[in-house]
């Protein structure tokens, strides 16, 4: 049966992530290949409510595959959380004759799409766009690999100065309530310890670990702290440690939003491009309310409700490995 889809809308929502532009490009070019028109919605759900739609053609997505951020801009919409806001958004989609929507974002984006699906019958498919990597249904989210590489580059530099001064550094990384950026980057930099929200942090254990290194005259110690750790952020944890063990000169670095920017890595460009292409193919096959991801190198479709409910968990075996390797 021939698809009834004549116009697709695409938007990015929530925190931006490197690779979103590559995904937009892939969606637009694949849709055009199928003679489907594409409208970009600016500023996420806020732009949907306000009717901030722009036509996208092949050249409007030229020269963006390598750029971080999102040409469609993004927002964390308060308006879409209200029934009035969603009703206005539905009216705008109708007004612009949108037959299907591709949403690129994280948890909040798909939770919004889920609520919307009971009120508006236009099919949505989602692409996992967040540096945090917590969504179920994909091995990696768009932007995670770039963020991890950014952290590694920054901490390698911190290690140089830490070594020169025999210092202990607490480096706080993003991830909201997930520790996956911390875990992967911490392993990559050979951190002495990684503190993540998925495992309980015991300050006394951390001090024992530091004392061991101190005894064997380790020149530097790097502790990677996930921003959502149960014992607090880097400042709070450093204070708790200093109160009991003040032998090492201590410094704190909060990497912050630099983790969200930069040119996407090769892995993120490939992931975004594959998923963008597959999103249009999925809509043409009549799929809706699903997030596309890649698991074991295969494209997988996961209902929004599962993608947001079953958060990806860090592999605890990796933490055990880190303990052994950092001794």
Asked if 174 is part of the footprint of ligand F6P (rule: CB under 6 A), the reply reads yes
Q: How far is the CB of 143 from ligand F6P (least distance, A)?
A: 8
- Which C-beta is closer to ligand F6P: that of 176 or that of 287? 176
Asked if 289 is part of the footprint of ligand F6P (rule: CB under 6 A), the reply reads no
Q: How far is the CB of 105 from ligand F6P (least distance, A)?
A: 9
Asked if 128 is part of the footprint of ligand F6P (rule: CB under 6 A), the reply reads no
Give the one residue of 12, 70, 77, 130 binding ligand F6P; rule: CB under 6 A.
130
Asked if 22 is part of the footprint of ligand F6P (rule: CB under 6 A), the reply reads no
- Which C-beta is closer to ligand F6P: that of 120 or that of 255? 255
Residue with structure tokens 């801009």? 73
The edge-to-edge listing of strands for the beta sheet with 221-226 is 193-195, 221-226, 167-173, 249-254
Q: How far is the CB of 110 from ligand F6P (least distance, A)?
A: 13
Give the one residue of 15, 44, 85, 264 binding ligand F6P; rule: CB under 6 A.
15
* Cβ contact 200:230 at 8 Å: yes
**Cα 52 from Cα 45, distance rounded (Å):** 10
How many residues touch ligand F6P (CB under 6 A)? 11
* Cβ contact 65:263 at 8 Å: no
E strand segments, 174-245: 193-195, 221-226
The edge-to-edge listing of strands for the beta sheet with 7-12 is 53-56, 37-41, 7-12, 100-105, 124-128, 290-295, 298-303
Question: What mask, x for binding ligand F6P by CB under 6 A, covers residues 215 to 254?
Answer: ------------x---------------------------
State the first-to-last Cα distance of the chain, in angstroms, to the nearest integer.
62
Here the tokens at position 165 are 């001064």
Piece in contact with ligand F6P (CB under 6 A), picked from 42-50, 113-121, 129-137, 247-255: 129-137
E strand segments, the chain: 7-12, 37-41, 53-56, 100-105, 124-128, 167-173, 193-195, 221-226, 249-254, 290-295, 298-303
Number of other residues whose CB lies within 10 A of the CB of residue 249: 11
Asked if 40 is part of the footprint of ligand F6P (rule: CB under 6 A), the reply reads no
Asked if 176 is part of the footprint of ligand F6P (rule: CB under 6 A), the reply reads yes
Q: How far is the CB of 18 from ligand F6P (least distance, A)?
A: 11
268 is catalytic: no
Piece in contact with ligand F6P (CB under 6 A), picked from 35-43, 124-132, 207-215, 303-311: 124-132
Asked if 311 is part of the footprint of ligand F6P (rule: CB under 6 A), the reply reads no
- Which C-beta is closer to ligand F6P: that of 11 or that of 277? 11
**Residues 67 to 96: which contact ligand F6P by CB under 6 A?**
76
Asked if 260 is part of the footprint of ligand F6P (rule: CB under 6 A), the reply reads yes
Going by their DSSP bridges, the two strands 290-295 and 124-128 should be labelled as: parallel
Residue with structure tokens 């971080």? 68
| Phi, psi of 253, rounded to the nearest 5 degrees | -135, 125
> Which residue in 46, 107, 132, 268 is the catalytic one?
132
Give the one residue of 46, 132, 192, 193 binding ligand F6P; rule: CB under 6 A.
132
3-state secondary structure of 38: strand
Angstrom distances, CA of residue 77 to CA of 48, 81, 115, 175, 218 = 10, 7, 14, 20, 48
Here the tokens at position 34 are 């199928």
Asked if 276 is part of the footprint of ligand F6P (rule: CB under 6 A), the reply reads no
Q: Which residues are catalytic?
A: 132
Using CB under 6 A as the criterion, which residues of the chain lie in contact with ligand F6P when the complex forms? Answer: 15, 76, 106, 130-132, 174-176, 227, 260
């Amino acid at each position: 049966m021939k698809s009834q889809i004549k116009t697709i809308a695409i938007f990015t929502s929530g925190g931006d992530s490197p690779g979103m532009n590559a995904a937009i490009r892939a969606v637009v070019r694949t849709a055009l290949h199928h003679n489907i028109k594409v409208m970009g919605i600016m500023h996420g759900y806020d732009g949907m409510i306000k009717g901030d739609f722009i036509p996208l053609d092949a050249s409007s997505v030229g020269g963006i595959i390598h750029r971080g951020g999102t040409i469609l801009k993004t927002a964390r919409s308060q308006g879409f959380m209200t029934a009035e806001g969603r009703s206005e958004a539905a009216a705008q989609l109708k007004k612009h004759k949108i037959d299907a929507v591709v949403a690129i974002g994280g948890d909040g984006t798909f939770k919004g799409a889920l609520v919307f699906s009971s009120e508006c019958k236009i099919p949505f498919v989602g692409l996992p766009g967040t540096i945090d990597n917590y969504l179920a249904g994909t091995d990696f989210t768009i932007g995670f690999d770039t963020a991890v590489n950014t952290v590694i580059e920054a901490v390698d530099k911190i290690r140089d100065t830490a070594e020169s001064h025999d210092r202990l550094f607490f480096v706080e990384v993003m991830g909201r309530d997930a520790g996956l950026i911390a875990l992967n980057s911490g392993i990559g930099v050979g951190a002495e310890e990684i503190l993540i929200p998925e495992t309980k942090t015991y300050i006394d254990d951390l001090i024992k670990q530091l004392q061991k290194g101190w005894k064997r005259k380790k020149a530097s110690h790097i502790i990677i702290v996930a921003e959502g750790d149960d014992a607090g952020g880097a400042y709070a944890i450093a204070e708790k440690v200093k109160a009991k063990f003040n032998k090492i000169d201590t410094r704190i670095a909060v990497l912050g939003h630099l983790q969200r920017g930069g040119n996407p890595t090769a892995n993120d460009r490939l992931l975004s491009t594959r998923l963008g292409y597959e999103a249009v193919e999925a809509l043409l096959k009549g799929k809706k309310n699903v997030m596309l991801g890649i698991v074991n190198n295969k494209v997988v479709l996961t209902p929004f409700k599962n993608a947001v409910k079953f958060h990806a968990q860090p592999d605890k075996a990796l933490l055990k490995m880190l303990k052994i390797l950092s001794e």
